[in-house]
Structure 1
């Protein structure tokens, strides 16, 4: 009996040590996953600031907090459990779901590019302007931001799960929760900094600071509109690149083509990365174009 008890204790001790060793790898796994989803993170960061443009500046951080809170809740209570359940009961479904999300990103990216280059004017002069209170506008903006975020967050959590498949369930849960918290805090913390940067610049440009500090403050104020515009371009490019790459990795032929590009330019890593990103960006535009035509056709059929 005592020997059986000791054997059980030895087994428990070995299990605890194995779990601890596995959990020691969590920071490295989180860092690896963050690198894998960097394009989506850039897109999320670039898209969000537009939802507070034109609203009361005193409400900007509160609005970002609302979006961040709902994003974190969705990741922790909806998307992470969904990814784990799918991974256990229907692992075959993860890649198609990722590809559908990638197609959505391509469609959104194409729509943005199309809007940049299209100059069609459809003003009739009789448009009815809907009156809306600031509170209603804020609620509408938050809802729109959360809907966009949940697509990007679903991609993030699915990719996070793909990095821990085959590991112990405890490790999977810890890594995914850590990724959810880290990325949400990083994205919306940076978004808050971006949104309030002009206020910071105005504060620094005040007369109570030395001339050099005031000059920096004025520089920030002048720089931020240009930065936000270019951030939007980067977000659109990232959306096309990430969406197409997700789709490509679900198709053996395109997976092999991307691998060939990397291998062919392996002696020039920067060029290889740029060539792969460019190929994915062009592919994303093509996928978005096709989806847009299908959507238009479906609308004509059912209207």
Structure 2
């Protein structure tokens, strides 16, 4: 019986590794996006915040994504593209906001502190929900359809744990590597000390690159989700444009084709995100004007009274 159990576990782990291989690109994006959420925090709060986001990621996968994905795959698979379009739109909105911040158009951000930390964690967990959804759905699509429900559930559980460990282990290393460099810089061995100094000096540039890569990743993944899934719900035009770009670049090689498709998706994501930001700002201004009007009326009534 123990041999049979070990065989089942081995099959589940093997299936998890194979199914998650095609989601590696999104895993890299997730690892690039998340460090942005801990920038600006004090060093003592970085790992606790990463830990809270990782716990939120596990909760996303086990409490929301896996149960919903299994239910929808079994009973309403037509709903999945619409959910992915909504998720992609949110990623585009987040990415467009960050692009606008690069040009000095930041808005709606309070001062740093405990309240802000909670907001950052909530934002990171929301973004993780969408990226994790794509990871799990890609993995689910690459599973053997002959697997039983319990084996499928086991495979998805293994993928959830592995992916969360990989992503947030990498994030924790990234956000604490400057501390490692500081310790190395105090080492009495000259070569180690110089290496540590170089690490510390390079980290601001590294985080700037990570911030750019993370933002582009959000726009790419969000734009790709929208383009592809619009095709799945009957609006084939955007997806055909994407495939047309990839076919046009195909003779130049796989890397050029991937870069071209990624750039097209990212630009599409930026356009969608900017539109959503404009709508959100417009609605916020309308609410602000209504609030000012109501306040004015209350003042007039109190004066008249």
**TM-score (ref. length: structure 2):** 0.79
Q: C-alpha separation between the residues in 1 aligned to 2:118 and 2:93? A: 25
Map of 2:158 onto structure 1: 178
Q: Which residue of structure 2 aligns with residue 189 of structure 1? A: 169
1:222 aligns with 2:201: yes
Match of 1:151 among 130, 138, 154: 130
Which deviates more from structure 2 when the two are superposed, residues 145-154 or residues 282-291?
A: 145-154
The 5 A counterparts of 1:65-214 are 65-118=51-104, 138-164=117-143, 166-168=145-147, 169-208=149-188, 210-214=189-193
Distance (whole Å) between structure 1 residues aligned to residue 125 and residue 277 of structure 2:
23
Matches within 5 A, 1:49-68: 49-68=35-54
Q: How far off is 1:87 after superposition?
A: 1.0
The answer for the alignment partner of 1:287 in structure 2 is 272
Q: Deviations over 1:206-240 (max 9, x none)?
A: 142x2111111111001111100110000111111
Higher mean displacement: 156-165 or 243-252: 156-165
Q: Does 1:28 align with 2:28?
A: no
CA distance in 1, matches of 2:102, 2:143: 39
Correspondence for 1:247 among 204, 222, 226: 226
Residues 253 and 137 (structure 1 numbering): CA distance in 2 closer, same or farther, change over 3 Å? closer
Is the partner of 1:176 in helix, strand or coil?
helix
Relative to 1, partners in 2 of residues 1:147 and 1:26: Cα closer, same or farther, differing over 3 Å?
A: closer
**Cα 1:255–1:60, aligned 2, differ >3 Å: closer, same or farther?**
same
- Structure 1 residues 95 and 119: alpha-carbon distance in aligned structure 2, compared to 1, 3 A threshold: closer
144-153 or 228-237: which moved more? 144-153
Give the superposition deviation at 1:300: 4.4
Q: What's the CA shift for 1:290?
A: 2.0
Q: Which moved more, 1:94-103 or 1:19-28?
A: 19-28
Label 1:24 to 1:191 Cα distance change in 2 as closer, same or farther (>3 A).
Answer: closer
Q: Structure 2: give runs of 5+ residues left out of the alignment.
A: 1-6, 291-305
Q: Which residue of 2 aligns with 1:9?
A: none
Change (3 A) 1:299 1:53: closer
Tell me how far apart the structure 2 counterparts of residues 58 and 296 of structure 1 sit (CA, whole Å).
Answer: 35
The alignment yields a C-alpha RMSD, in angstroms, of 3.0
Deviation at 1:28, TM superposition (A): 1.3
Match 2:245 to one of 252, 258, 261? 261
In the alignment, the residues of structure 1 paired with residue 116 and residue 13 of structure 2 have an alpha-carbon distance, to the nearest angstrom, of 44
Aligned to 1:273: 258
Structure 1, gaps ≥5 residues long? 1-16, 123-128
Aligned residues: 275
Shift of 1:197: 0.5
The runs of at least 4 consecutive aligned structure 1 residues that moved more than 6 Å come to: 17-23
